[in-house]
Chain A
Amino acid sequence: MSDLLPFGPGAWVFIALYVASLLILGWKGRAARKEDTLQDFYLAERDFGYIVLLLTLYATQYSGNTFFGVAGATYRLGFAWLIAVHYMLSVIVFYLAFAPKLHRLSHDRGYVTPVDYLQDRFGSRAISLIASVVMIVALSNYLLAQLMTMGRALQGLAGPYGDQAYNYGVVGLALIMVIYGTLGGLRAIAWTDVIQGSVLLVGFLVLLALLADQFGPLSAATERVLASTDDFKVARPAPAMLREWFSYIIVIGMGGALYPHAIQRIYAARSSRTMHRSLATMAFLPFTTALVAVIAGIYALAYVPGLEGAATDQVLARLLRIIQESSLLGYAVVVVIFSAILAALMSTADSAMLSISSMLTKDIYAVYVKPQAPQAELTKFGKRCSWIVIGALIVLAIVLRNHASLITLLDRKFDVLVQLVPAFILGIHLPFLQKTPVLFGLVAGLAIALGLAFGPFDFVVAGKVWGLHPGLYGLIVNTTIAIGGSALKVWR
Protein backbone atom coordinates (compact mmCIF):
# COMPACT_ATOMS: atom_id res chain seq x y z
CA MET A 1 0.00 0.00 0.00
CA SER A 2 2.93 2.35 0.61
CA ASP A 3 3.36 3.12 -3.09
CA LEU A 4 -0.28 4.17 -3.34
CA LEU A 5 -0.57 6.58 -0.46
CA PRO A 6 1.18 9.86 0.04
CA PHE A 7 2.58 8.54 3.35
CA GLY A 8 6.38 8.36 3.61
CA PRO A 9 8.48 5.57 5.16
CA GLY A 10 8.41 7.19 8.64
CA ALA A 11 4.61 7.16 8.69
CA TRP A 12 4.48 3.55 7.58
CA VAL A 13 6.99 2.54 10.25
CA PHE A 14 4.76 4.23 12.85
CA ILE A 15 1.64 2.47 11.58
CA ALA A 16 3.49 -0.84 11.24
CA LEU A 17 4.68 -0.58 14.87
CA TYR A 18 1.13 0.11 15.97
CA VAL A 19 -0.24 -2.88 14.04
CA ALA A 20 2.64 -5.08 15.24
CA SER A 21 1.78 -4.18 18.84
CA LEU A 22 -1.72 -5.57 18.23
CA LEU A 23 -0.29 -8.86 16.99
CA ILE A 24 2.07 -9.05 19.98
CA LEU A 25 -0.89 -8.54 22.31
CA GLY A 26 -2.64 -11.35 20.47
CA TRP A 27 0.25 -13.64 21.36
CA LYS A 28 0.34 -12.34 24.94
CA GLY A 29 -3.39 -12.98 25.25
CA ARG A 30 -2.88 -16.53 24.09
CA ALA A 31 -0.05 -17.01 26.60
CA ALA A 32 -2.24 -15.67 29.42
CA ARG A 33 -4.95 -18.25 28.71
CA LYS A 34 -5.82 -20.15 31.89
CA GLU A 35 -7.92 -22.91 30.35
CA ASP A 36 -9.21 -23.94 26.93
CA THR A 37 -12.85 -23.04 27.56
CA LEU A 38 -15.45 -20.76 26.03
CA GLN A 39 -15.55 -18.68 29.21
CA ASP A 40 -11.81 -18.06 29.01
CA PHE A 41 -11.74 -17.39 25.27
CA TYR A 42 -14.90 -15.26 24.98
CA LEU A 43 -15.07 -13.62 28.43
CA ALA A 44 -11.43 -13.58 29.60
CA GLU A 45 -12.43 -15.35 32.84
CA ARG A 46 -14.73 -12.41 33.77
CA ASP A 47 -11.82 -10.46 35.20
CA PHE A 48 -11.83 -7.00 33.57
CA GLY A 49 -10.89 -4.17 35.91
CA TYR A 50 -11.94 -0.51 35.60
CA ILE A 51 -9.38 0.71 33.04
CA VAL A 52 -9.56 -2.32 30.76
CA LEU A 53 -13.37 -2.41 30.89
CA LEU A 54 -13.67 1.33 30.27
CA LEU A 55 -11.29 1.37 27.32
CA THR A 56 -12.69 -1.79 25.76
CA LEU A 57 -16.24 -0.43 26.05
CA TYR A 58 -15.06 2.90 24.66
CA ALA A 59 -13.02 1.49 21.78
CA THR A 60 -15.86 -0.86 20.90
CA GLN A 61 -18.70 1.66 21.09
CA TYR A 62 -16.92 4.32 19.06
CA SER A 63 -16.38 2.90 15.64
CA GLY A 64 -15.43 3.90 12.15
CA ASN A 65 -18.94 5.28 11.91
CA THR A 66 -18.13 7.83 14.60
CA PHE A 67 -15.33 9.28 12.50
CA PHE A 68 -16.69 8.93 8.98
CA GLY A 69 -20.45 8.33 9.29
CA VAL A 70 -21.07 11.10 11.84
CA ALA A 71 -18.89 13.61 9.98
CA GLY A 72 -20.63 12.61 6.72
CA ALA A 73 -24.14 12.89 8.19
CA THR A 74 -23.28 16.30 9.68
CA TYR A 75 -22.12 17.35 6.23
CA ARG A 76 -25.51 16.34 4.82
CA LEU A 77 -27.73 17.57 7.67
CA GLY A 78 -25.73 20.22 9.54
CA PHE A 79 -25.73 20.82 13.30
CA ALA A 80 -28.89 18.69 13.55
CA TRP A 81 -26.62 15.66 13.61
CA LEU A 82 -25.87 16.55 17.20
CA ILE A 83 -28.28 13.63 17.40
CA ALA A 84 -25.15 11.46 17.29
CA VAL A 85 -23.88 12.86 20.61
CA HIS A 86 -27.31 12.23 22.09
CA TYR A 87 -27.72 8.65 20.86
CA MET A 88 -24.22 7.70 22.01
CA LEU A 89 -25.16 8.93 25.48
CA SER A 90 -28.58 7.29 25.37
CA VAL A 91 -26.92 3.88 24.93
CA ILE A 92 -25.26 4.36 28.33
CA VAL A 93 -28.55 5.55 29.84
CA PHE A 94 -30.44 2.47 28.60
CA TYR A 95 -27.79 0.18 30.12
CA LEU A 96 -29.16 1.41 33.45
CA ALA A 97 -32.37 -0.47 32.68
CA PHE A 98 -30.79 -3.90 32.64
CA ALA A 99 -26.98 -4.06 32.89
CA PRO A 100 -26.68 -4.10 36.70
CA LYS A 101 -29.11 -7.02 37.06
CA LEU A 102 -27.77 -8.85 34.00
CA HIS A 103 -24.20 -8.60 35.29
CA ARG A 104 -25.21 -10.22 38.58
CA LEU A 105 -27.15 -12.96 36.81
CA SER A 106 -24.33 -13.67 34.36
CA HIS A 107 -21.87 -14.27 37.18
CA ASP A 108 -24.33 -16.44 39.12
CA ARG A 109 -25.51 -18.49 36.13
CA GLY A 110 -22.37 -18.61 33.96
CA TYR A 111 -23.71 -16.92 30.81
CA VAL A 112 -21.29 -16.64 27.87
CA THR A 113 -23.53 -15.20 25.13
CA PRO A 114 -26.51 -12.82 25.41
CA VAL A 115 -28.78 -15.65 24.27
CA ASP A 116 -27.72 -17.70 27.31
CA TYR A 117 -29.72 -15.24 29.39
CA LEU A 118 -32.79 -15.53 27.13
CA GLN A 119 -32.68 -19.33 27.23
CA ASP A 120 -32.38 -19.24 31.02
CA ARG A 121 -35.21 -16.71 31.38
CA PHE A 122 -37.77 -18.10 28.91
CA GLY A 123 -36.63 -21.66 28.20
CA SER A 124 -37.76 -21.26 24.60
CA ARG A 125 -35.61 -22.54 21.77
CA ALA A 126 -37.63 -20.48 19.28
CA ILE A 127 -36.90 -17.19 21.11
CA SER A 128 -33.24 -18.15 21.51
CA LEU A 129 -32.84 -19.09 17.84
CA ILE A 130 -34.55 -15.95 16.53
CA ALA A 131 -32.51 -13.79 18.92
CA SER A 132 -29.30 -15.50 17.78
CA VAL A 133 -30.12 -14.93 14.12
CA VAL A 134 -31.11 -11.28 14.76
CA MET A 135 -27.91 -10.59 16.67
CA ILE A 136 -25.65 -12.40 14.20
CA VAL A 137 -27.21 -10.64 11.21
CA ALA A 138 -27.15 -7.22 12.91
CA LEU A 139 -23.56 -7.68 14.01
CA SER A 140 -22.48 -8.93 10.59
CA ASN A 141 -24.03 -5.76 9.13
CA TYR A 142 -21.98 -3.74 11.65
CA LEU A 143 -18.79 -5.65 10.91
CA LEU A 144 -19.35 -5.16 7.19
CA ALA A 145 -19.71 -1.41 7.74
CA GLN A 146 -16.37 -1.37 9.61
CA LEU A 147 -14.62 -3.28 6.83
CA MET A 148 -16.06 -0.94 4.20
CA THR A 149 -14.91 2.04 6.24
CA MET A 150 -11.41 0.56 6.46
CA GLY A 151 -11.37 0.56 2.68
CA ARG A 152 -12.77 4.08 2.48
CA ALA A 153 -10.19 5.35 4.98
CA LEU A 154 -7.49 4.43 2.50
CA GLN A 155 -9.53 5.27 -0.59
CA GLY A 156 -10.02 8.87 0.50
CA LEU A 157 -6.30 9.40 1.01
CA ALA A 158 -5.17 7.61 -2.15
CA GLY A 159 -6.44 9.91 -4.88
CA PRO A 160 -6.39 8.19 -8.30
CA TYR A 161 -5.37 4.85 -6.73
CA GLY A 162 -8.46 4.79 -4.51
CA ASP A 163 -10.01 1.60 -5.87
CA GLN A 164 -6.89 -0.49 -5.28
CA ALA A 165 -6.29 1.09 -1.86
CA TYR A 166 -9.86 0.22 -0.83
CA ASN A 167 -9.35 -3.47 -1.61
CA TYR A 168 -5.92 -3.67 0.04
CA GLY A 169 -7.25 -1.85 3.13
CA VAL A 170 -10.18 -4.22 3.59
CA VAL A 171 -8.17 -7.41 3.09
CA GLY A 172 -4.98 -6.41 4.97
CA LEU A 173 -6.57 -4.96 8.08
CA ALA A 174 -9.20 -7.70 8.35
CA LEU A 175 -6.49 -10.36 8.24
CA ILE A 176 -4.46 -8.70 11.00
CA MET A 177 -7.59 -8.43 13.10
CA VAL A 178 -8.65 -12.03 12.70
CA ILE A 179 -5.11 -13.20 13.56
CA TYR A 180 -4.87 -11.46 16.93
CA GLY A 181 -8.57 -12.11 17.66
CA THR A 182 -8.29 -15.83 17.18
CA LEU A 183 -4.97 -16.02 19.03
CA GLY A 184 -6.04 -14.52 22.33
CA GLY A 185 -9.85 -14.20 22.26
CA LEU A 186 -11.52 -11.45 24.28
CA ARG A 187 -8.45 -11.05 26.51
CA ALA A 188 -6.28 -10.10 23.52
CA ILE A 189 -9.00 -7.95 22.01
CA ALA A 190 -9.54 -6.05 25.26
CA TRP A 191 -5.81 -5.48 25.66
CA THR A 192 -5.61 -4.16 22.10
CA ASP A 193 -8.62 -2.01 22.99
CA VAL A 194 -6.58 -0.38 25.75
CA ILE A 195 -4.09 0.78 23.12
CA GLN A 196 -6.79 1.51 20.53
CA GLY A 197 -9.00 3.37 23.02
CA SER A 198 -6.07 5.55 24.13
CA VAL A 199 -5.07 6.30 20.52
CA LEU A 200 -8.70 7.03 19.71
CA LEU A 201 -9.13 9.47 22.60
CA VAL A 202 -5.91 11.32 21.70
CA GLY A 203 -6.77 11.19 17.97
CA PHE A 204 -10.14 12.92 18.38
CA LEU A 205 -8.68 15.68 20.55
CA VAL A 206 -5.79 16.20 18.13
CA LEU A 207 -8.28 16.34 15.26
CA LEU A 208 -10.16 19.18 16.96
CA ALA A 209 -6.95 21.19 17.47
CA LEU A 210 -5.80 20.46 13.94
CA LEU A 211 -9.04 21.63 12.34
CA ALA A 212 -8.90 24.94 14.20
CA ASP A 213 -5.22 25.40 13.31
CA GLN A 214 -5.71 24.62 9.62
CA PHE A 215 -9.03 26.28 8.87
CA GLY A 216 -9.39 28.88 11.63
CA PRO A 217 -12.04 29.11 14.36
CA LEU A 218 -15.37 27.31 14.21
CA SER A 219 -17.12 30.69 14.07
CA ALA A 220 -15.52 31.35 10.65
CA ALA A 221 -16.66 27.93 9.41
CA THR A 222 -20.23 28.57 10.63
CA GLU A 223 -20.28 32.01 8.97
CA ARG A 224 -19.11 30.40 5.75
CA VAL A 225 -21.92 27.84 5.90
CA LEU A 226 -24.43 30.64 6.62
CA ALA A 227 -23.23 32.51 3.56
CA SER A 228 -23.79 29.45 1.34
CA THR A 229 -26.94 27.69 0.17
CA ASP A 230 -26.46 25.33 3.12
CA ASP A 231 -27.43 28.06 5.63
CA PHE A 232 -30.47 26.04 6.79
CA LYS A 233 -27.99 23.51 8.25
CA VAL A 234 -27.15 25.97 11.03
CA ALA A 235 -30.74 26.67 12.12
CA ARG A 236 -32.75 24.57 14.55
CA PRO A 237 -33.90 21.34 12.84
CA ALA A 238 -37.35 21.28 11.23
CA PRO A 239 -40.18 19.45 13.07
CA ALA A 240 -39.74 16.32 10.90
CA MET A 241 -36.09 16.19 11.89
CA LEU A 242 -37.01 16.62 15.56
CA ARG A 243 -39.26 13.54 15.32
CA GLU A 244 -36.38 11.71 13.69
CA TRP A 245 -34.13 12.85 16.55
CA PHE A 246 -36.51 11.28 19.09
CA SER A 247 -36.67 8.10 17.03
CA TYR A 248 -32.87 7.81 16.88
CA ILE A 249 -32.61 8.18 20.66
CA ILE A 250 -35.02 5.33 21.30
CA VAL A 251 -33.99 2.98 18.48
CA ILE A 252 -30.21 3.44 18.60
CA GLY A 253 -30.15 3.98 22.36
CA MET A 254 -31.94 0.71 23.09
CA GLY A 255 -30.56 -1.21 20.10
CA GLY A 256 -27.00 -0.09 20.83
CA ALA A 257 -27.33 -1.17 24.45
CA LEU A 258 -28.25 -4.64 23.17
CA TYR A 259 -25.16 -5.06 21.02
CA PRO A 260 -24.02 -8.62 21.81
CA HIS A 261 -20.34 -7.66 22.15
CA ALA A 262 -21.24 -4.91 24.60
CA ILE A 263 -23.38 -7.30 26.66
CA GLN A 264 -20.46 -9.73 26.77
CA ARG A 265 -18.27 -6.97 28.21
CA ILE A 266 -20.87 -6.53 30.95
CA TYR A 267 -20.52 -10.25 31.64
CA ALA A 268 -16.73 -9.86 31.67
CA ALA A 269 -16.64 -7.07 34.31
CA ARG A 270 -14.85 -8.25 37.43
CA SER A 271 -17.46 -6.73 39.77
CA SER A 272 -20.55 -4.54 39.77
CA ARG A 273 -18.45 -1.68 41.18
CA THR A 274 -16.08 -1.95 38.21
CA MET A 275 -18.98 -1.91 35.77
CA HIS A 276 -20.74 1.05 37.42
CA ARG A 277 -17.56 3.15 37.44
CA SER A 278 -16.78 2.32 33.81
CA LEU A 279 -20.29 3.18 32.60
CA ALA A 280 -20.33 6.37 34.70
CA THR A 281 -17.17 7.50 32.89
CA MET A 282 -18.57 6.43 29.52
CA ALA A 283 -21.44 8.89 30.06
CA PHE A 284 -19.04 11.78 29.36
CA LEU A 285 -17.19 10.37 26.36
CA PRO A 286 -19.67 11.39 23.63
CA PHE A 287 -18.34 14.92 24.14
CA THR A 288 -14.76 13.92 23.32
CA THR A 289 -15.69 11.83 20.29
CA ALA A 290 -19.08 12.19 18.59
CA LEU A 291 -19.14 15.95 19.20
CA VAL A 292 -15.68 16.31 17.62
CA ALA A 293 -16.89 14.36 14.57
CA VAL A 294 -19.91 16.71 14.29
CA ILE A 295 -17.59 19.74 14.40
CA ALA A 296 -15.38 18.12 11.74
CA GLY A 297 -18.50 17.72 9.58
CA ILE A 298 -19.23 21.46 9.92
CA TYR A 299 -15.65 22.32 8.91
CA ALA A 300 -16.05 20.02 5.88
CA LEU A 301 -19.35 21.71 4.98
CA ALA A 302 -17.58 25.06 5.03
CA TYR A 303 -14.31 24.15 3.31
CA VAL A 304 -15.04 21.08 1.13
CA PRO A 305 -18.50 21.92 -0.28
CA GLY A 306 -20.35 20.25 -3.11
CA LEU A 307 -20.14 16.54 -2.23
CA GLU A 308 -23.24 14.36 -2.47
CA GLY A 309 -24.40 10.80 -1.74
CA ALA A 310 -21.88 8.17 -0.63
CA ALA A 311 -19.03 10.66 -1.25
CA THR A 312 -20.15 12.58 1.85
CA ASP A 313 -18.90 9.73 4.01
CA GLN A 314 -15.40 10.64 2.81
CA VAL A 315 -15.46 14.28 3.89
CA LEU A 316 -13.18 13.63 6.83
CA ALA A 317 -10.61 11.96 4.62
CA ARG A 318 -10.77 14.97 2.28
CA LEU A 319 -10.15 17.33 5.21
CA LEU A 320 -7.22 15.21 6.39
CA ARG A 321 -5.68 15.26 2.95
CA ILE A 322 -5.81 19.08 2.85
CA ILE A 323 -4.18 19.25 6.29
CA GLN A 324 -1.61 16.63 5.34
CA GLU A 325 -0.47 18.57 2.29
CA SER A 326 -0.22 21.89 4.12
CA SER A 327 2.85 21.34 6.35
CA LEU A 328 5.21 18.76 7.79
CA LEU A 329 3.52 19.05 11.19
CA GLY A 330 0.11 18.60 9.55
CA TYR A 331 1.43 15.51 7.79
CA ALA A 332 2.76 14.02 11.05
CA VAL A 333 -0.43 14.69 12.97
CA VAL A 334 -2.56 13.20 10.19
CA VAL A 335 -0.54 10.01 10.60
CA VAL A 336 -1.56 9.95 14.29
CA ILE A 337 -5.21 10.58 13.39
CA PHE A 338 -5.07 7.93 10.70
CA SER A 339 -3.83 5.49 13.35
CA ALA A 340 -6.74 6.53 15.57
CA ILE A 341 -9.15 5.83 12.71
CA LEU A 342 -7.64 2.40 12.24
CA ALA A 343 -7.94 1.89 16.01
CA ALA A 344 -11.65 2.81 15.93
CA LEU A 345 -12.34 0.51 13.03
CA MET A 346 -10.35 -2.47 14.17
CA SER A 347 -11.41 -2.35 17.81
CA THR A 348 -15.08 -2.39 16.85
CA ALA A 349 -14.68 -4.93 14.08
CA ASP A 350 -12.66 -7.40 16.17
CA SER A 351 -15.22 -7.30 18.97
CA ALA A 352 -18.08 -7.88 16.54
CA MET A 353 -16.18 -10.74 14.92
CA LEU A 354 -15.53 -12.44 18.27
CA SER A 355 -19.12 -12.02 19.36
CA ILE A 356 -20.48 -13.50 16.10
CA SER A 357 -18.09 -16.40 16.53
CA SER A 358 -19.26 -16.97 20.13
CA MET A 359 -22.93 -17.03 19.12
CA LEU A 360 -22.39 -19.33 16.14
CA THR A 361 -20.47 -21.68 18.43
CA LYS A 362 -22.41 -21.56 21.69
CA ASP A 363 -25.95 -20.78 20.50
CA ILE A 364 -26.03 -22.69 17.20
CA TYR A 365 -23.31 -25.36 16.93
CA ALA A 366 -23.36 -26.47 20.58
CA VAL A 367 -27.17 -26.57 20.64
CA TYR A 368 -28.20 -27.94 17.24
CA VAL A 369 -25.13 -29.68 15.81
CA LYS A 370 -23.00 -31.15 18.57
CA PRO A 371 -24.43 -30.69 22.07
CA GLN A 372 -21.88 -33.05 23.61
CA ALA A 373 -18.82 -31.31 22.17
CA PRO A 374 -16.06 -30.65 24.72
CA GLN A 375 -15.06 -27.04 25.45
CA ALA A 376 -11.72 -27.30 23.62
CA GLU A 377 -13.51 -28.42 20.46
CA LEU A 378 -16.01 -25.60 20.73
CA THR A 379 -13.22 -23.05 21.11
CA LYS A 380 -11.52 -24.45 18.04
CA PHE A 381 -14.79 -24.31 16.11
CA GLY A 382 -15.26 -20.69 17.20
CA LYS A 383 -11.86 -19.71 15.82
CA ARG A 384 -12.70 -21.30 12.48
CA CYS A 385 -15.98 -19.38 12.46
CA SER A 386 -14.05 -16.11 12.83
CA TRP A 387 -11.98 -16.88 9.73
CA ILE A 388 -15.01 -17.92 7.66
CA VAL A 389 -17.10 -14.90 8.71
CA ILE A 390 -14.27 -12.47 8.00
CA GLY A 391 -13.58 -14.12 4.63
CA ALA A 392 -17.22 -13.83 3.55
CA LEU A 393 -17.53 -10.23 4.73
CA ILE A 394 -14.31 -9.20 2.95
CA VAL A 395 -15.87 -10.38 -0.31
CA LEU A 396 -19.12 -8.52 0.46
CA ALA A 397 -17.24 -5.34 1.42
CA ILE A 398 -15.47 -5.33 -1.92
CA VAL A 399 -18.58 -6.19 -3.96
CA LEU A 400 -20.83 -3.63 -2.19
CA ARG A 401 -18.21 -0.88 -2.23
CA ASN A 402 -20.29 1.75 -4.00
CA HIS A 403 -23.75 0.61 -3.01
CA ALA A 404 -24.59 1.83 0.47
CA SER A 405 -23.93 4.90 2.52
CA LEU A 406 -22.76 4.09 6.04
CA ILE A 407 -25.76 5.62 7.67
CA THR A 408 -28.13 3.39 5.67
CA LEU A 409 -26.35 0.34 7.04
CA LEU A 410 -26.62 1.81 10.52
CA ASP A 411 -30.38 2.34 10.34
CA ARG A 412 -31.44 -1.20 9.36
CA LYS A 413 -29.34 -2.94 11.97
CA PHE A 414 -30.97 -1.12 14.88
CA ASP A 415 -34.46 -1.64 13.50
CA VAL A 416 -34.06 -5.36 14.11
CA LEU A 417 -31.90 -5.30 17.24
CA VAL A 418 -34.38 -3.11 19.09
CA GLN A 419 -37.01 -5.87 18.76
CA LEU A 420 -35.11 -7.75 21.47
CA VAL A 421 -35.96 -5.06 24.04
CA PRO A 422 -39.07 -6.77 25.49
CA ALA A 423 -37.24 -10.10 25.93
CA PHE A 424 -34.14 -8.53 27.47
CA ILE A 425 -35.08 -5.33 29.25
CA LEU A 426 -38.67 -6.11 30.20
CA GLY A 427 -37.92 -9.80 30.73
CA ILE A 428 -35.39 -8.97 33.39
CA HIS A 429 -37.82 -6.78 35.38
CA LEU A 430 -41.26 -8.28 34.81
CA PRO A 431 -41.58 -11.79 36.26
CA PHE A 432 -45.04 -12.25 34.71
CA LEU A 433 -43.68 -11.96 31.14
CA GLN A 434 -44.23 -15.31 29.41
CA LYS A 435 -42.48 -16.99 26.53
CA THR A 436 -45.34 -17.37 24.03
CA PRO A 437 -46.44 -13.70 23.98
CA VAL A 438 -42.78 -12.61 23.93
CA LEU A 439 -42.15 -14.90 20.95
CA PHE A 440 -45.22 -13.65 19.04
CA GLY A 441 -44.30 -10.06 19.87
CA LEU A 442 -40.75 -10.60 18.62
CA VAL A 443 -41.93 -12.13 15.34
CA ALA A 444 -44.52 -9.39 14.79
CA GLY A 445 -42.01 -6.65 15.62
CA LEU A 446 -39.44 -8.03 13.19
CA ALA A 447 -42.05 -8.45 10.46
CA ILE A 448 -43.24 -4.86 10.84
CA ALA A 449 -39.73 -3.41 11.06
CA LEU A 450 -38.41 -5.29 8.04
CA GLY A 451 -41.66 -4.99 6.08
CA LEU A 452 -41.73 -1.21 6.44
CA ALA A 453 -38.01 -0.87 5.81
CA PHE A 454 -37.86 -2.94 2.65
CA GLY A 455 -41.49 -3.01 1.40
CA PRO A 456 -42.75 -0.93 -1.55
CA PHE A 457 -44.65 1.65 0.49
CA ASP A 458 -45.09 5.26 -0.65
CA PHE A 459 -45.48 6.48 2.92
CA VAL A 460 -41.97 5.31 3.82
CA VAL A 461 -39.76 8.32 3.13
CA ALA A 462 -35.97 7.96 3.40
CA GLY A 463 -36.45 4.72 5.31
CA LYS A 464 -38.77 6.28 7.90
CA VAL A 465 -42.50 6.66 8.48
CA TRP A 466 -43.43 10.19 9.61
CA GLY A 467 -39.80 10.63 10.62
CA LEU A 468 -39.79 7.55 12.86
CA HIS A 469 -37.79 4.36 12.32
CA PRO A 470 -39.71 1.26 11.17
CA GLY A 471 -38.14 -0.49 14.16
CA LEU A 472 -39.96 1.86 16.52
CA TYR A 473 -43.37 0.89 15.10
CA GLY A 474 -42.34 -2.76 15.34
CA LEU A 475 -41.23 -2.25 18.93
CA ILE A 476 -44.56 -0.69 19.95
CA VAL A 477 -46.52 -3.66 18.57
CA ASN A 478 -43.94 -6.11 19.91
CA THR A 479 -44.10 -4.68 23.44
CA THR A 480 -47.90 -4.51 23.39
CA ILE A 481 -48.17 -8.18 22.44
CA ALA A 482 -45.52 -9.28 24.97
CA ILE A 483 -47.03 -7.40 27.92
CA GLY A 484 -50.70 -7.66 26.92
CA GLY A 485 -50.49 -11.36 26.07
CA SER A 486 -48.61 -12.18 29.29
CA ALA A 487 -51.06 -10.17 31.42
CA LEU A 488 -53.97 -11.95 29.75
CA LYS A 489 -52.47 -15.37 30.47
CA VAL A 490 -51.84 -14.47 34.10
CA TRP A 491 -55.35 -13.04 34.48
CA ARG A 492 -56.89 -16.23 33.05
Chain B
Amino acid sequence: MTGQAKPRRWIAIVYLGLLALVIPWYWPAGDTRHFYGLPLWVIATLAALLATSAFTAWVYLSLPEDE
Protein backbone atom coordinates (compact mmCIF):
# COMPACT_ATOMS: atom_id res chain seq x y z
CA MET B 1 0.00 0.00 0.00
CA THR B 2 1.45 3.33 -0.97
CA GLY B 3 0.53 6.97 -1.06
CA GLN B 4 -1.37 9.15 1.38
CA ALA B 5 -3.23 7.44 4.21
CA LYS B 6 -7.01 7.49 3.73
CA PRO B 7 -9.50 7.25 6.56
CA ARG B 8 -10.71 3.68 6.76
CA ARG B 9 -13.96 3.86 8.68
CA TRP B 10 -14.61 0.15 8.39
CA ILE B 11 -11.61 -0.38 10.68
CA ALA B 12 -13.41 1.52 13.46
CA ILE B 13 -16.51 -0.61 12.86
CA VAL B 14 -14.46 -3.81 13.18
CA TYR B 15 -12.99 -2.51 16.46
CA LEU B 16 -16.47 -1.78 17.83
CA GLY B 17 -17.53 -5.32 16.94
CA LEU B 18 -14.45 -6.76 18.64
CA LEU B 19 -15.09 -4.59 21.72
CA ALA B 20 -18.61 -6.00 21.94
CA LEU B 21 -17.15 -9.52 21.86
CA VAL B 22 -14.35 -8.88 24.37
CA ILE B 23 -16.59 -7.45 27.12
CA PRO B 24 -18.62 -10.53 28.14
CA TRP B 25 -22.05 -8.85 28.58
CA TYR B 26 -23.60 -11.65 26.51
CA TRP B 27 -22.42 -14.45 28.83
CA PRO B 28 -24.85 -15.92 31.40
CA ALA B 29 -24.36 -14.41 34.86
CA GLY B 30 -23.35 -16.86 37.57
CA ASP B 31 -21.77 -19.35 35.16
CA THR B 32 -18.64 -20.72 36.89
CA ARG B 33 -17.84 -23.57 34.50
CA HIS B 34 -14.16 -23.62 33.64
CA PHE B 35 -11.74 -25.40 31.33
CA TYR B 36 -8.25 -26.06 32.76
CA GLY B 37 -8.88 -23.36 35.36
CA LEU B 38 -10.04 -20.68 32.92
CA PRO B 39 -13.78 -19.84 33.18
CA LEU B 40 -15.52 -20.28 29.83
CA TRP B 41 -16.37 -16.57 29.63
CA VAL B 42 -12.64 -15.83 30.11
CA ILE B 43 -11.77 -18.11 27.19
CA ALA B 44 -14.31 -16.30 24.98
CA THR B 45 -12.89 -12.94 26.04
CA LEU B 46 -9.29 -14.04 25.46
CA ALA B 47 -10.19 -15.33 21.98
CA ALA B 48 -11.73 -11.95 21.10
CA LEU B 49 -8.69 -10.16 22.54
CA LEU B 50 -6.36 -12.29 20.45
CA ALA B 51 -8.43 -11.43 17.36
CA THR B 52 -8.10 -7.74 18.31
CA SER B 53 -4.32 -8.10 18.60
CA ALA B 54 -4.04 -9.84 15.23
CA PHE B 55 -6.25 -7.26 13.54
CA THR B 56 -4.28 -4.39 15.10
CA ALA B 57 -0.98 -5.88 13.95
CA TRP B 58 -2.38 -6.27 10.44
CA VAL B 59 -3.58 -2.64 10.36
CA TYR B 60 -0.17 -1.33 11.50
CA LEU B 61 1.69 -3.45 8.97
CA SER B 62 -0.60 -2.29 6.16
CA LEU B 63 -0.13 1.42 6.90
CA PRO B 64 1.71 3.42 4.23
CA GLU B 65 5.36 4.18 4.90
CA ASP B 66 6.74 7.68 4.61
CA GLU B 67 10.30 6.96 3.61
- Residues of chain A touching chain B, judged by Cβ–Cβ distance below 8 Å, are 79, 82, 85-86, 89, 92-93, 96, 100-101, 103-104, 217-222, 226, 231, 234-239, 242, 245-246, 249, 271-273, 276-277, 279-281, 283-284, 286-287, 291, 298
Contacts and interface: CB of A to CB of B under 8 A. Distances in A.
Interface size class of B (residues with CB under 8 A): 35 or more
Contact of A280 (B36, B38, B60, B67): B60
B60 A96 contact: yes
Contacts of A280: 56-58, 60-61
B65 A273 contact: yes
Given A100-B5, A220-B37, A286-B49, A235 B31 contact: yes
A287 B53 contact: yes
Contacts, number: 112
A239 B5 CA distance: 39
Contacts of B27: 236
Contact of B60 (A222, A237, A246, A283): A283
B13 interface: no
5 contacts: A86-B49, A222-B38, A222-B39, A238-B29, A271-B66
B13 to A, nearest CB: 14
B61 A79 contact: no
Given A82-B46, A85-B46, 12 more contacts: A96-B60, A103-B66, A219-B37, A220-B37, A226-B32, A235-B29, A238-B29, A283-B53, A283-B56, A284-B57, A286-B53, A287-B46
A283 B58 CA distance: 10
Contact of B61 (A231, A236, A271, A276): A276
Nearest to B34: A222
B41 A236 contact: yes
B66 A104 contact: yes
B37 A96 contact: no
Interface in B41-56: 41-42, 45-46, 49-50, 52-54, 56
